[in-house]
Amino acid sequence: MIIAIASGKGGTGKTTLATAMAGVLGAGGQLLDCDVEEPNAHLFLNPRISESRRVTVPVPRIDESKCTYCRKCQEVCRFNALVVLPGHVLVFDQLCHGCGGCVRRCPERCITEGEREIGFVEKGLAGDLEWVQGRLRIGEAMAPPLIREVKKEMSPGKTVLIDAPPGTSCPVIASVQGSDFVILVTEPTPFGRHDLKLAIDAVRVLGIPCGVVLNRADMGDRGTHELCSVEGIPVLLEIPHDRKTAENYASGGLITDVHPEYKDSFVSLADDIRRRIFQERRRRTA
Amino acid sequence: MIVAVTAKGPELSSEVDPRFGRAAYIVFIDTDTGDVEVLDNRKNAEALRGAGIQTASTVAERGAKALVTGHCGPNAFEVLKSAGIKVANQSGGTVKSALDAFLDDKLQIMEKADVEGNS
Amino acid sequence: MKELIVLSGKGGAGKTSLCAAFACLAKDAVLADCDVDAADLHILLEPFVEWEEPFSGGLEARIREDQCIQCGDCREACRFGAITEDFHVDPVSCEGCGVCSWVCPVEAVELTVRQSGILYVSRTRVGPMVHARLGIAEENSGKLVAEVRRRARVVAEEAGRTLILADGPPGLGCPVISSVTGADGVILVAEPTVSGFHDLARLAELVQDHFHIPTLVVINKWDLHEELTRRMETFCAERNILMAGHIPYDLVMVKSMIQKKTVVEYGEGPVVQEIRNIWHRVESWMSLGNGGQDDSSPMRKGIP
């Protein structure tokens, strides 16, 4: 099964939860860190990296010996990546979305596709756990293609945890799409609640069942419980706040290092989600 | 020669628009004939990115040999430079005063982009 | 007019809470919430919206059912898997490239401008505020951020205010780039955690090496990990990032937020005192023209 761990707001404990669950899954699990702008699961899991590969996206390359400067490629491009000047064609690689429209359109067939590097996919093992992350070049805009490459490394038969980026814009959607379940991690504060609502709406658009994990659950108000009740979203787990946990996290430790008694809760959480996925599948085929 | 000036309105008396890519209007003045043409650039605001490139391409297509504007990003600047268009710096005043200042050689010619894109 | 932006890399470092506190202390500011994906500043500042307008960016394809002959050319040509088996365009996956409309033999595809968000101009108890909301699954290209900033400048000019204080977006991508270009100063809010340090380093590289913007740092929750705090200070000193202050770990930051108040409105105490000191230093730094770093510099050195 594929479980995405997301949150509307950053800093609510998404990576804390993802790494803790990954820790209890061990050999049966796989963690895909799709927060490609700032992957940080590796700081807690300390994987031994066994493989690293470049990820590229296609960009147009013009054979100017055949080009007639007819400007049809510029006309078809919606992203302003091509400018045809008298006797010269300029290509702006970083604006290209890789749609292939210019290649199709060119009447002289003088456009081929070169590559532009957007980042890396890295794989390794953290103990018995399989770990994969995507790392986007600094300043790079194209996160979704890299995220899709990370997801291609999914191992069949494992419980796959996807650590998604925060927010609701397209990298989050690219990470969460295709999952069987989404855990939304939040905190019981007005900020947390506001962003949780946005995240619930986003997940609804994708039609994936979800549940909430409330982090620092004793530091806040009841508003989040009320919201979940109104939205019909289950609160699957509550993790209390304590300073020891925060200090340990600061050092790069897993929450289960300080609270080994939580391990059972995370195992139960995974089982609970498995049951819900099953129920959802039965409901859909009925 | 044709000089282009970024403007907030469609007249010679309109204020100069300091932005290039998302400038509201571009006023083209043919200094030989005195003809004035105005391009309404506001729909270019739809471009998510690359607005400067689009505007620069249009300026080049219209045969401008010089451009007067407040700021220009690196992509737009590359297009203008490749097209052999001189880019002069002027943020305030009217289109007419900017044109006159340029023709009197009073303006600084930009050697490179002065802002990052997306502004 | 000067523009100051507060960034933190990942979320949860206290960026928005601090920005709201600064907004209360600043006397002459216009606020810009550049975190358009998950804007939170309005929760504390309770803006009264005076103007809103739709924000459009990019295109979206739609297949006209009555004209579609279901030849499948569009599905084959789409590189983003955005056309379903029953010939509907999935707006979440559609990137607006228009290739489908070019290949369609019967011109059944129409491309329309998509409304990707809303921009608001409001007033708050601490001054005018420009903010926005980006729609779900929209490309956060930075264009909406640029528009928020641009509008904030217009509002500042009209209101005769001399400072734009911006709550920055998280991360390092286009929205952040769009929020810092041309800014006069960046305040980095960092936490002394392994991931916080990691993000501080990446952000410093972006802001200083790529954009050469004068940078200050505030270390929040500094006493959660004293050793990391010291290492981060050393890092900042080596990089010429001025230390604006250290805020101790204190639940008052959360408690005030739950009451929907900024921390400086909630009461006094060591956190509020330090925030006042920090803001005082920021103001001096700004008026010194940012470069003024001599012995009389009000900047802090080292943990209290």
| Residue of A74, A86, A92 lying closest to B75 (CB–CB) | A92
**pLDDT tens-digit series, residues A26-55:** 899 999 999 998 898 999 999 999 999 999
Average pLDDT over chain A, rounded to an integer: 92
Report the alpha-carbon distance of residue A154 to residue A158 in Å, rounded: 8
The residues with which B28 forms a beta bridge, in sequence order, are B4, B37
pLDDT at position C294 is 42
Interface of C with A in 108-127 (CB under 8 A): none
**Which residues in chain B have their CB less than 8 angstroms from residue A85's CB?**
57, 60, 79, 82-83
Q: What is the CA radius of gyration of chain C?
A: 23
Closest CA to C275 of C289, C264, C261: C264
**Going edge to edge, which strands form the sheet with A181-186?**
A48-62, A111-126, A129-136, A29-33, A159-163, A2-6, A181-186, A210-215, A235-239
Is residue B118 included in any domain, yes or no? no
Dihedral sign, CA of A125, A127, A131, A133? negative
User: For residue C113, which residues of chain B lie inside 8 Å, CB to CB?
Assistant: 46
The structural domains of chain C, ordered by start, are 2-46+125-287 (3.40.50.300), 56-115 (3.30.70.20)
Give me the pLDDT at residue C235, please: 96
User: Hey, are the CB atoms on B47 and A83 less than 8 Å from each other?
Assistant: no
Coil, helix or strand for C74? helix
List all chains that touch chain A, counting a touch as 3 or more CB pairs closer than 8 Å. Answer: B, C
Q: Is the pLDDT of residue C117 over 50?
A: yes
- Nearest Cα neighbor of A243 from B104, C224, C296 is C224
Gap between the Cα atoms of A138 and C38, Å rounded: 22
The one-letter code for the residue type at C203 is L
pLDDT for residue B116:
58
Return phi, psi of residue A201, to 5°.
Answer: -60, -40
- A170 at the B interface (CB within 8 A)? no
pLDDT at site B115: 66
CA distance A176 to A164: 7
Structure tokens at C285: 């730094």
Task: State which amino acid sits at residue A139.
Answer: G
User: Which of A9, A138, A243 shows the shortest C-beta gap to C205?
Assistant: A138
Q: Residue A94: pLDDT band by 50, 70, 90 thresholds? A: confident
Please name the member of A79, A85, A88 whose beta carbon is closest to the beta carbon of B49: A79
Q: Does B17 fall in a domain? A: yes
- Beta-bridge partner residues of A117: A56
Give pLDDT tens digits for C203-261: 998 899 878 889 999 999 999 999 999 999 999 999 999 999 999 998 888 888 888 88
pLDDT over threshold 70, residue C301: no
- Residue C190 pLDDT: 95
Please give the CATH architecture assigned to the domain spanning A2-55+121-285.
3-Layer(aba) Sandwich (3.40)
- Which stretches does DSSP call E strand in A71-226? 82-85, 88-91, 111-126, 129-136, 159-163, 181-186, 210-215
In a domain, B79, yes or no: yes
Residue from A170, A269, A258, A250 nearest A211 by CA: A269
Q: Tell me: pLDDT of C83 over 70.
A: yes
Chains with at least 3 CB pairs less than 8 angstroms from chain C: A, B
Domain containing residue B16: 2-109
- Residue intervals of chain A classified under CATH 3.40.50.300 are 2-55+121-285
Neighbours of chain B (3+ CB pairs under 8 A): A, C
- Tell me which residues of chain A, numbers 57 to 86, contact chain B at a CB-CB cutoff of 8 Å: 74, 79-81, 83-86
- Does the distance separating the beta carbons of B56 and A85 come in below 8 Å? no
Stretch A96-106: mean pLDDT, rounded? 94
What is the mean pLDDT of the segment spanning A66-91?
94
CATH annotation of A64-109: 3.30.70
Point out the least confidently predicted range of B90-94, C60-64, C133-137.
C133-137
In-domain check, residue B116: no
Residue B109 near residue B88 (C-beta atoms within 8 A): yes
Residue B46: the pLDDT is: 61
- Those residues of chain B whose CB sits closer than 8 Å to some CB in chain C are 46-49, 115-119
Q: Are A172 and A161 in contact (CB under 8 A)?
A: no
Q: What percent of chain A has pLDDT over 90?
A: 71
Note whether C143 contacts B117, CB cutoff 8 Å. Answer: no
Q: Measured between CB atoms, which of A80, A86, A90 is closest to B47?
A: A80
| pLDDT single digits (tens) C170-201 | 887 778 888 888 789 999 999 999 889 988 99
* pLDDT attached to residue C290: 47
Edge-to-edge order in the sheet of strand B86-89: B36-40, B25-30, B2-7, B64-69, B86-89, B108-109
Q: Is residue B114 part of a domain?
A: no
Q: Which residue of A has its CA nearest to B54?
A: A80
pLDDT in tens, C15-72: 999 999 999 999 889 999 998 887 888 888 999 999 999 988 788 999 999 999 999 9
Of C163, C231, C240, the closest CA to residue C194 belongs to C231
Give the separation between CA C25 and CA C256, rounded to whole angstroms: 16
Per-residue confidence (pLDDT) for residue C288, from 0 to 100: 61
Q: CB under 8 Å to C187, separation ≥6 — which residues?
A: C4, C5, C6, C7, C18, C215, C216, C217, C218, C244, C282
- Give span(s): CATH 3.30.70, chain A: 64-109
Strands A29-33, A129-136: pairing kind: parallel
Evaluate whether C106 touches C69 at the Cβ level (below 8 Å): yes
Looking at the domain assignment, is residue B117 inside a domain? no
Q: What is the pLDDT of residue C299?
A: 54
Q: Please give the tally of structural domains in chain B.
A: 1
B96 has pLDDT over 80: yes
End-to-end CA distance of chain A: 20
What are the structure tokens assigned to C256, written together? 């005030």
pLDDT score of C293 more than 60: no
- How far does C112 lie from chain A, in Å, by closest CA? 12
Please answer yes or no on whether B118 and C177 come within 8 Å at the CB atom: yes
pLDDT digits (tens, 9 = 90+) for C157-173: 999 999 999 999 888 77
Banded pLDDT at C292 (limits 50, 70, 90): very low
User: What does the pLDDT read at residue C289?
Assistant: 52
B vs C, Cβ pairs < 8 A, gives 34
User: What is the distance of C-alpha A266 from the center of its chain?
Assistant: 21
Say how many C-beta atoms besides its own lie within 10 A of residue B42's C-beta.
11
User: Taking the model in full, what pTM does it have?
Assistant: 0.83
Does A242 score more than 90 pLDDT? no
Q: What is the pLDDT of residue A102?
A: 97
Q: Which of C202, C254, C255, C256 to mutate to test the interface with A (most CBs of A within 10 A)?
A: C254
pLDDT digits (tens, 9 = 90+) for C101-110: 999 999 999 9
Kindly state whether C192 is in contact with chain A, defined as any CB-CB distance less than 8 angstroms: yes
Q: What secondary structure letter does DSSP report for B18?
A: S
Asked if the structure places residue B14 within a domain, the reply is: yes
Partner residue opposite B46 with nearest CB, options C57, C146, C211? C57
